[in-house]
Structure 1
């Protein structure tokens, strides 16, 4: 789906069909190369800071890390949060009162292994029983993704899977053939944005290249979702006051005198051990 100038220019049926069907949709060429290069610079700075403090970077597998960040430390945050396609997708799937609850980035470095198939959190009753999506994850790559650099892999349609009485996030290995038969590897290019249900079964694949693959993550909830409890989005009063109302109306965060260290709560213990392959 190519970029357009207003949220109303995007087809709601196409958005809903993609996210309720495959569980993922993309907007090609949403940002120019300069904007993405600036985002990559910010991620690299923030990662260096995170690695320098205990608990600053969460392990999501060997040579793979996740870091939550303060929106005002990312120069393009407002551009992303107010992008017409992002707004259109949020309104279509989550309703007009959607809330931005997470900002962070994921980096698989050279040597990162396959992750186990998983979803990012347990499926809520609204999805498992009510068949309604109440959260989305937006991903923005900062490099052109190739097969060697450890692309994201998703099993389309599995956001509706009931994992039964076992682990609510990690399906049993006897289910792997089902996911591998459905698997699609995504190869986004610089400037692309994707939106997905974090409940669709997915994994990061092995990075066999010599470069890292930083990806920015924006987490968004419907009004009844509770993923904000896993995060600590915070902004200073000056930043809050300077935000456009179109962003401020959807940002669920603490307003603080000075930015505080984020105590990351969204740990996923099952990802710390990667898989060969």
Structure 2
């Protein structure tokens, strides 16, 4: 196990060896597990996303804009038929434990949908650098992504600038948006990702990234699973909940990491995870 693993975590405590993935997160800021699920599993995911997306668009604040023709929607775990398979996947469990420690918390479940006509987003990170990361170069949260489609070149693929998770400057607007004078650095490093149905990726949301222009007539929905370590507070921006019946149906090792209220009835999520600036895009 790499020395960057969470203190006290031994490979013997993990379901699978993720030492190379931990190293990749600390160097590139992103790693992936090809074929973690079957294409059929991803197709069911796409069905659940499409259903939740259609419902969210019918009510105020059901979806938040992430730029022209690009939306983010947060959902409750039981809206996703494959929720347990996702969070209980050996690679997910092992990577969360190795990076964040045994007390990691699942705090976010949502999805991004770039539609036809979505434009280049500004280069950004999803939240300001936490003090622990700035001071100790230690990651305190992770974001897992699962595509609902086979990504093609013209569908506005995700673009990331490896190694930029440590970039820090008072010039960053809101601590998240580097000025355009920094863009050359990101464009030189930029790598576009083309995940296929069933692929699973993990990144630190601090690595500078953006969604690119969708020139196709297709949408490119991507599921987002957010996980916090003990020090992180990203859960404060999310409102997921579960019903008692769903909670009782979960394996104990899933319940112990699920940080959300148990309620009698679900209320549709009102989106509050806005990211300033993305509504403008790069027109």
Q: What's the TM-score once normalised by structure 1's chain length?
A: 0.95
How much has 1:7 moved relative to structure 2? Answer: 8.3
- Counterpart in 1 of 2:8? none
Q: Deviations for 1:28-80, whole angstroms, at most 9, x for unmatched residues?
A: 00111111111100000000000000010100011000000010011000100
- Counterpart in 1 of 2:228? 221
Q: Distance in 2 between matches of 1:43 and 1:253?
A: 21
- Between the two proteins, the alignment pairs up a number of residues equal to 271
Structure 1 position 109 matched with structure 2 position 77:
no
Structure 1 position 132 matched with structure 2 position 138:
yes
Structure 1 position 210 matched with structure 2 position 249:
no
What secondary structure does 2:73 align onto? strand
Given that residues 151 and 204 in structure 1 are in contact (C-alpha distance below 8 angstroms), is that contact kept between their aligned partners in structure 2? yes
- Counterpart in 2 of 1:22? 28
Structure 1, unpaired ranges of 5+: 1-5
Equivalent residue in structure 1 for 2:83, among 77, 82, 87: 77
Alignment CA distance shift 1:89-1:214 (3 Å) = same
Structure 1 position 197 matched with structure 2 position 204:
yes
Structure 2, unpaired ranges of 5+: 1-11
Alignment CA distance shift 1:259-1:148 (3 Å) = same
Q: What's the TM-score once normalised by structure 2's chain length?
A: 0.93
Q: Distance in 1 between matches of 2:232 and 2:112?
A: 23
Equivalent residue in structure 1 for 2:195, among 179, 188, 191: 188
Q: Distance in 1 between matches of 2:64 and 2:105?
A: 24
Given that residues 139 and 204 in structure 2 are in contact (C-alpha distance below 8 angstroms), is that contact kept between their aligned partners in structure 1? yes
Given that residues 100 and 251 in structure 1 are in contact (C-alpha distance below 8 angstroms), is that contact kept between their aligned partners in structure 2? yes
How much has 1:163 moved relative to structure 2? Answer: 2.2
Q: Deviations for 1:235-269, whole angstroms, at most 9, x for unmatched residues?
A: 01111111001110100001111001212221112
Q: Deviations for 1:185-227, whole angstroms, at most 9, x for unmatched residues?
A: 0111110000000000000000011110010110000011100
Q: Distance in 1 between matches of 2:172 and 2:97?
A: 33
Equivalent residue in structure 1 for 2:125, among 105, 110, 119: 119
Q: Deviations for 1:134-168, whole angstroms, at most 9, x for unmatched residues?
A: 00000000111111101000000111011225410
- Counterpart in 2 of 1:162? 168
Q: Deviations for 1:60-102, whole angstroms, at most 9, x for unmatched residues?
A: 0110000000100110001000001111110111111100000
Q: Deviations for 1:94-130, whole angstroms, at most 9, x for unmatched residues?
A: 1111000000000000110000000001111011122
What secondary structure does 1:159 align onto? coil
Given that residues 7 and 84 in structure 1 are in contact (C-alpha distance below 8 angstroms), is that contact kept between their aligned partners in structure 2? no
